[in-house]
């Protein structure tokens, strides 16, 4: 990790009181000690996630750990909008999104940061489960098949060749985020696909790294049917926008 890069880790959480301390413990010390800030955003959890975060900071004496709590639930996409604007305002170069449910291995952060050292103009590096063996890692068969189908459709619509679009393990270049209207994307889970469309329109570089898949006892908050429909809707909107038939602010990337 290059010392000159100002790196932050953003941890979106919702009802993650059980997994949050485990996740924080697993972040490699070389990362904990060198990133500028690790900030947790509790999205109006109904459990004591926020208090667990506060307690962890007190016990660990992590000076670069900050904990925030939304008064109302902003949604998965809404939480990201706040976090990325926060990172831009604070002058960070790189922001890592690490889910609070511990589904994505924090031990992989150094690997995912490596491409930024080799290529200066990367906009996004994300961890791809589909480059590994997701079924072995416990991915449900219906999600595996759904991922393959949606990814195939998205690649066709966007003329891209990604192994998947649905991993939440993402590291963004804040200078790239400044170039796209991410605040116009959905507040829901398909935010992740819409911001990829924006990066595609802007012709910004996206890189993938293989990561292990882990599915534990954490509760999924994603309605998979609605999620799939929303992605297809976003793709249709992109095509209509591209052809000039209709205009959508979120795809008005200059």
Residue 2: inside a domain? no
Residue 64: CATH number of its domain = 3.90.550.10
* Per-residue pLDDT reduced to its tens digit, 122-157: 999 999 999 989 999 999 999 999 999 999 999 999
Residue 197: inside a domain? yes
Residue 1: inside a domain? no
CA distances from 74 to 17, 56, 229, 235 (A): 18, 24, 21, 23
CA distances from 105 to 10, 39, 97, 152, 250 (A): 14, 17, 11, 26, 31
Residue 117: inside a domain? yes
* Per-residue pLDDT reduced to its tens digit, 33-78: 999 999 999 999 999 999 999 999 999 999 999 999 999 999 999 9
Residue 38: inside a domain? yes
Residue 241: inside a domain? yes
Residue 222 pLDDT grade (very low, low, confident, very high; cuts 50, 70, 90): confident
Parent domain of 230: 7-251
Give the count of domains, the chain: 1
Residue 175: inside a domain? yes
* Per-residue pLDDT reduced to its tens digit, 3-31: 589 999 999 999 999 999 999 999 999 99
Among candidate residues 250, 81, 95, the one with its CA nearest the CA of residue 181: 250
């Amino acid at each position: 990790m290059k010392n000159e890069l100002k790196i932050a880790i953003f941890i979106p959480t919702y009802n993650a009181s059980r997994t949050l301390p485990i996740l924080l413990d697993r972040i490699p010390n070389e990362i904990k000690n060198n990133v500028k800030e690790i900030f947790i955003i509790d999205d109006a959890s109904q459990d004591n996630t926020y208090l667990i975060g506060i307690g962890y900071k007190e016990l660990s004496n992590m000076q670069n750990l900050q904990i925030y709590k939304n008064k109302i639930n902003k949604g998965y996409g809404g939480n990201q909008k706040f976090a990325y604007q926060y990172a831009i305002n604070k002058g960070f170069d790189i922001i890592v999104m690490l889910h609070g449910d511990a589904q994505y291995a924090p031990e992989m952060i150094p690997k995912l940061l490596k491409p930024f050292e080799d290529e200066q103009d990367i906009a996004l590096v994300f961890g791809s489960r589909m480059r590994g063996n997701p079924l072995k890692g416990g991915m449900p068969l219906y999600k595996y098949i759904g991922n393959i189908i949606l990814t195939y459709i998205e690649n066709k619509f966007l003329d891209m060749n990604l192994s998947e679009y649905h991993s939440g393990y993402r590291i963004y270049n804040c200078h790239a985020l400044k170039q796209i209207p991410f605040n116009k994307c959905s507040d829901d889970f398909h935010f992740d696909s819409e911001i990829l469309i924006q990066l595609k329109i802007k012709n910004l570089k996206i890189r993938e790294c293989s990561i292990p898949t882990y599915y534990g006892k954490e509760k999924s908050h994603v309605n998979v049917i609605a999620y799939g429909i929303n992605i297809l809707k976003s793709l249709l909107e992109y095509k209509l926008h591209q052809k000039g038939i209709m205009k959508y602010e979120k795809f008005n990337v200059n």
